[in-house]
Amino acid sequence: MATIITAALLLLARSSASSIDFSRRTHGFCKQLDLPVFATADSAVYDLPRVNNDIETTAWAIHTDTWSTPLGPPTVIKNTTTSDTFSIHAQLCVPKSLAKKKDILQIATHGVHYDSRYWDPKLDPEKQSYVEAALREGYSILTYDRLGVGQSDHPDAYNVVQGPLEVEILRQLTLMARNGTLYDFAAKARPLHPAFKKLAKPSKVVHVGHSFGSVLTSAFIATYGLLTDGAIITGFVPNKYLAKGGYASFNAVKARDRPSGYIVCQKSGIQTIFFAGDLKTAFTKEMLDYGDAIKQPVPIGEFASAYHILGRKGPSFKAPIQYMLPEFDFYICGGDCKGIFNKQAIKETYPNATVIESAIQPNTGHAFTLHNNATAGYQVTFDFLARNGL
List the CATH number of the domain containing 296: 3.40.50.1820
- pTM value is 0.93
Measured CA to CA, the distance from residue 116 to residue 95 in angstroms comes to 18
pLDDT given for residue 3 in this prediction:
38
Residues of the chain with confidence (pLDDT) below 70: 1-24, 99
One-letter identity of residue 295? K
Strand segments, DSSP code E, in 220-319 are 230-234, 252-254, 262-265, 298-299
Kindly list the distances between the CA atom of residue 238 and the CA atoms of 45, 97, 114, 241, 343, in Å, as whole numbers in the listed order: 26, 38, 21, 8, 10
Distance CA 218, CA 243 (A): 17
Given strand 252-254, what is the order of strands in its sheet?
252-254, 262-265, 298-299
**Helix (H, G, I), strand (E, B), or coil: what is residue 225?**
helix
Helices (H), 248-356: 267-274, 285-293, 301-305, 330-333, 343-349
b/e map of 101-135 (b: 16 or more CB within 10 Å)?
A: bbebbbbbbbbbbbbbbbbbbebbbeebbbbbbbb
Q: Give me the residues paired with residue 208 across strands.
A: 108, 232
Taking the C-alpha atoms of residue 200 and residue 203, their distance in angstroms, rounded to an integer, is 9
Spatial CA neighbour of 250 closest among 103, 111, 122? 111
Q: Which residue stretches of 196-327 are H helix?
A: 212-223, 267-274, 285-293, 301-305
Contact status, residue 272 vs residue 254, Cβ threshold 8 Å:
no
Number of domains in the chain: 1
pLDDT by residue (tens digit) across 280-313? Answer: 999 999 999 999 999 999 999 999 999 999 999 9
Q: What is the pLDDT of residue 324?
A: 97
Please, is 258 exposed, middle or buried when counting C-beta atoms within 10 Å of its C-beta (0-12, 13-18, 19+)?
middle
Give the range of the structural domain holding residue 124, as residue numbers without chain letter. Answer: 2-387
CB of 374 closer than 8 Å to CB of 128: yes
Neighbours of 253 (CB within 10 A): 18
Q: Phi and psi for 362 in degrees, rounded to 5?
A: -60, 150
Cβ-Cβ contacts under 8 Å for 73 (sequence gap 6 or more): 307
